[in-house]
Amino acid sequence: MEFNFASRLDSFEEGIFATLNDKKNELVKAGRKVYNMSVGTPDFKPSQHIMDAVSEAASKPENYKYALADLPELLDAVSNHYAERYGVKGIRHEEIMSIYGSQEGMAHIAMAICDPGDVVLVPNPGYPVFTAGPFLCGAKVETYDLHPENNFLIEFDKIPEEQARRAKMMIVSYPLNPVCVTAPDSFYEELITFAKKYNIIILHDNAYSDIIYGGRVGKSFLSFRGARDVGVEFYSLSKSYNYTGARMSFVVGNQAVIDKFKNVRSQIDYGIFLPVQYGAIAALTGPQDAVKAQCEEYDRRNHALSEGLTSIGWKVPLSQGTMFSWAQIPEGFANSNEFVMELMEKTGLIVTPGSSFGSLGEGFVRFALVLDVPTIQEAVRSVKESGILNSRM
């Protein structure tokens, strides 16, 4: 029997991570040492008090029922955290909702906002789900270009007037994965003005505000005047608290957007598993020392990678934020895919080609800072000894 499947899936090829993983397995089987810096899975453990909270809650049979809604204590924890961490006071329960991780939320929120054919603006380069979510919901995805010459910040005056007027939703994220830059306060003020002028709903993905370097301060989009009038923010516990597998994130901000998204979610799930909610409460209300210490360790890795590779002839800028680093490929290579495969074969170092993040990612690669400093230094030596940086000169 021959099946016919949804034609929309024709736009999705096998993910680059699957291809890289297959090649990695080949190298390991051959006895090669690999340095996997392709996937952004934190190598840190959750704090003990978070795991204890999950464990205790999981030992109680009553916590295995449908949650149906977010615990009031969880909503209080989010509101208080925003007040203490970002100075955003007075967030009401009605302005908060949980989601199964920001990736899932981004994949579904357009169902609450867009009708088929509505225009959604997404960054190029940008994280793939920014495009995939609206596309799967039938929206028309149009990109705004981010260039290194402008520190990968949005150039609002370069967005065509006609495109801005047609846009219903715009996805923004700083610090931005994959390009690893932060945005100044003036940027957010300009963003809010732009959104109000064209009546665009803003979705700000704030996954990395606790992983910022060089004396910069991680902020929330909602801390800027008028932000709650124009949109919402996605806030994740995955990277700050290493709560990745628990899939615990929040949408915070404009109540009208929250209400509509809750309506969508009520059709497809019965709430976050209660032990996961209790773990999130522990994360947000407990000691934050580990979050700061983790950021410092990421920064040590950031420096080890940048300074190490730059010293052997591959200029890798210091990341401004996120658990990643972003760099142009060395001269002489035709494209990022070709370079990544040759780099892996010759050195064992696995990184992600920038083309995976949009057409303007071509010519770049992304490193995930998921190896400790000694291992990064070992990887740098492997690159140096391989001669790959001199092979195309």
Determine the pLDDT at residue 393. Answer: 55
Domain annotation covers residue 391: no
Q: Which of 102, 307, 289 is nearest to 207 (CA)?
A: 102
**Is the pLDDT reported for residue 179 higher than 90?**
yes
Locus of tokens 């494209």: 335
Structure tokens at 206: 């704030």
The confidence band for 182, taking pLDDT boundaries of 50, 70 and 90, is: very high
Long-range pairs for 297-305 at CB < 8 Å and ≥24 separation? 297/44, 298/211, 298/213, 298/323, 298/369, 299/213, 300/373, 301/369, 301/371, 301/372, 301/373, 301/376, 302/213, 302/369, 304/373, 304/376, 304/377, 304/380, 305/367, 305/369, 305/376, 305/380
Residue at which a domain ends, from 250, 285, 320: 285
Determine the pLDDT at residue 175. Answer: 96
Residues 178 and 98 in one domain: yes
How much of the chain exceeds pLDDT 70, in percent?
A: 98
Domain annotation covers residue 273: yes
Residues 193 and 245 in one domain: yes
Determine the pLDDT at residue 74. Answer: 98
What are the φ and ψ backbone dihedral angles of 313, each rounded to 5 degrees?
Answer: 110, 5
Domain annotation covers residue 1: no
Residues 338 and 246 in one domain: no
Domain annotation covers residue 379: yes
**Is the pLDDT reported for residue 12 higher than 80?**
no
Q: What confidence tens digit (pLDDT) does each residue in 366-380 have? A: 999 999 999 999 999
Q: What confidence tens digit (pLDDT) does each residue in 39-95 have? A: 889 999 999 999 999 999 999 999 999 999 999 999 999 999 999 999 999 999 999
Determine the pLDDT at residue 24. Answer: 86
What CATH number did the domain enclosing 20 receive? Answer: 3.90.1150.10
**Is the pLDDT reported for residue 14 higher than 70?**
no
- What global pTM score does this model have? 0.94
Average pLDDT, the chain: 95
Residues 306 and 269 in one domain: no
Number of structural domains found in the chain = 2
Residues 219 and 270 in one domain: yes
Q: Helix, strand, coil proportions of the chain in percent (round to 5)?
A: 50, 15, 35
Determine the pLDDT at residue 13. Answer: 64
What CATH number did the domain enclosing 75 receive? Answer: 3.40.640.10
**Is the pLDDT reported for residue 392 higher than 70?**
no
Determine the pLDDT at residue 119. Answer: 97
Residues 199 and 174 in one domain: yes
Q: What confidence tens digit (pLDDT) does each residue in 224-251 have? A: 999 999 999 999 999 999 999 999 999 9
Determine the pLDDT at residue 85. Answer: 97
Domain annotation covers residue 325: yes
Residue 162 exposed, middle or buried by CB count within 10 Å (0-12, 13-18, 19+): exposed
**Is the pLDDT reported for residue 176 higher than 90?**
yes
Largest distance between two CA atoms of the chain: 66
Residue at which a domain ends, from 285, 307, 330: 285
Structural domain boundaries, residue 327: 9-38+290-386
Residues 152 and 14 in one domain: no
Residues 201 and 322 in one domain: no
Domain annotation covers residue 77: yes
- Paired with 36 in beta bridges are 350
Q: Which of 347, 348, 354, 296 is nearest to 325 (CA)?
A: 354
Q: Which of 5-19, 74-88, 316-330, 344-358 has the weakest average pLDDT? A: 5-19
Domain annotation covers residue 78: yes
Cα separation of 322 and 90, whole Å?
A: 28
Residues 156 and 252 in one domain: yes
Domain annotation covers residue 2: no
Q: What confidence tens digit (pLDDT) does each residue in 184-224 have? A: 999 999 999 999 999 999 999 999 999 999 999 999 999 99
Residues 215 and 310 in one domain: no
Residues 32 and 105 in one domain: no
Torsion sign (Cα): 99, 101, 102, 105: negative
Higher model confidence: residue 285 or residue 14? 285
For residue 68, the number of C-alpha atoms closer than 13 Å in the C-beta half-sphere is 3
The confidence band for 265, taking pLDDT boundaries of 50, 70 and 90, is: very high
Residues 199 and 245 in one domain: yes
Cα separation of 52 and 275, whole Å?
A: 10
Residue at which a domain ends, from 285, 313, 341: 285
